[in-house]
Amino acid sequence: MSWKVGGVLTTEPVVVRPREADERIRRWESRLVREYDGVPPSLVHEWIERARARLGGARVRGFVPLLVERAVRASARDFPADVPGISGTPLTSWARSTASRLLAQRLPRRWAHSSGVARRAEQVARVLPVEEQDLLVAAAWLHDIGYADELVDTGLHSLDGARYLLRAGAPQRVCDLVAHHSGAAAVAEVLGLADQLAEFGDARGRLRDALWYCDMTTGPDGQPTILDDRLAEIRQRRGPDDPVVRALEINVDERRSAVRRIHRLLRRTTEWRQPLRVRLEAG
């Protein structure tokens, strides 16, 4: 039997120290998450952890990263990617064109990120009741418009974006979602803007969690990412004094919980469509 390790065919077991194997798997994880754009990043992460647990006792540890990758690729191939996404309703079309007008030219990176969050939302919407699906996609397009120069007022982008949307006649639930996305209440607290943010309701629940999930699993350039990498990137890009980073002390657990809850729903709503072999492996 031969194995391809690092692009080289070998018939010899390759000795890889556990720590080295961990690092290699983490690098592969980032690559696989990006490669399988149609699979929610948290599911790819779970497949990796599951394969690692299964292979943890493998006698030749050097093969573990390779076997993990193979197992994940098999799961990804079986993933039901043919579930139609939600897009093209009047609300989502308006949200997309509004976000494009405010971000695409002057803040292209924000626009790329927002587009990535909306792409993820179209897919994650399957965990929501039909009547909430286009609210999620619309909020995903719009969640960061408060960074646009012409909207900046208080400096809390979620609040500035939500106030603009309210003036523009957007549905109240979309305004509320944008106001409170991804731990905004903690950022408002840090900035002394909690009273003003309270103008908008924070409807905890599946819809709100889903928007947080999409934002927390999309990188700054719109690429899919896992939560830990996203949090590390936020800390590194913004620096320790930034209010968003300071607020992580308060809201990081809430962010994790929202991602975990949606992950469970995604797993439940997709597993029954997967082949029996995959479901049995999942236990």
Nearest alpha carbon to residue 258 among 211, 225, 220, 219: 211
Between residues 69 and 229, which has the closer beta carbon with respect to Fe ion?
229
Q: How far is the CB of 257 from Fe ion (least distance, A)?
A: 18
Between residues 75 and 218, which has the closer beta carbon with respect to Fe ion?
218
Does residue 229 come out as left (phi exceeding 0), alpha (psi in the -120 to 50 range) or beta?
Answer: alpha
Decide: residue 6, CB within 10 A, 0-12 exposed, 13-18 middle, 19+ buried: exposed
Between residues 85 and 146, which has the closer beta carbon with respect to Fe ion?
146
160 binds Fe ion (CB under 5 A): no
Q: How far is the CB of 267 from Fe ion (least distance, A)?
A: 24
The interface region with Fe ion, picked from 2-10, 79-87, 141-149, 202-210 by CB under 5 A, is 141-149
Between residues 23 and 228, which has the closer beta carbon with respect to Fe ion?
228
Q: How far is the CB of 14 from Fe ion (least distance, A)?
A: 40
Please provide the distance, in angstroms rounded to a whole number, between the alpha carbons at the two ends of the chain: 29
CA distance 173 to 200: 9
Q: How far is the CB of 74 from Fe ion (least distance, A)?
A: 32
Q: Crossing angle, helix 41-55 and helix 64-78, to 10 degrees?
A: 140
Residues in 166-225 that interact with Fe ion by CB under 5 A: 215
Q: What is the per-residue burial (b if ≥16 Cβ within 10 Å, else e) of 111-135?
A: bbbbbbbbbbbbbbbbbbeeebbbb
144 binds Fe ion (CB under 5 A): yes
Residues in 242-271 that interact with Fe ion by CB under 5 A: none
* CA–CA–CA angle 128, 131, 133 (5° rounding): 50
Q: How far is the CB of 223 from Fe ion (least distance, A)?
A: 13
The interface region with Fe ion, picked from 73-81, 142-150, 190-198, 202-210 by CB under 5 A, is 142-150
Q: How far is the CB of 40 from Fe ion (least distance, A)?
A: 17
Between residues 16 and 248, which has the closer beta carbon with respect to Fe ion?
248
69 binds Fe ion (CB under 5 A): no
- DSSP one-letter string for 143-186: TTGGGSGGG-SSS-HHHHHHHHHHHTT--HHHHHHHHTGGGHHH
Between residues 133 and 158, which has the closer beta carbon with respect to Fe ion?
158
For the chain, the residue count is 283
Name all contacts of 160-163 with Cβ < 8 Å and 24+ positions apart.
162/200, 163/199
Between residues 47 and 141, which has the closer beta carbon with respect to Fe ion?
141
Q: How far is the CB of 72 from Fe ion (least distance, A)?
A: 27
Q: Which residues bind Fe ion (CB under 5 A)?
A: 144, 215
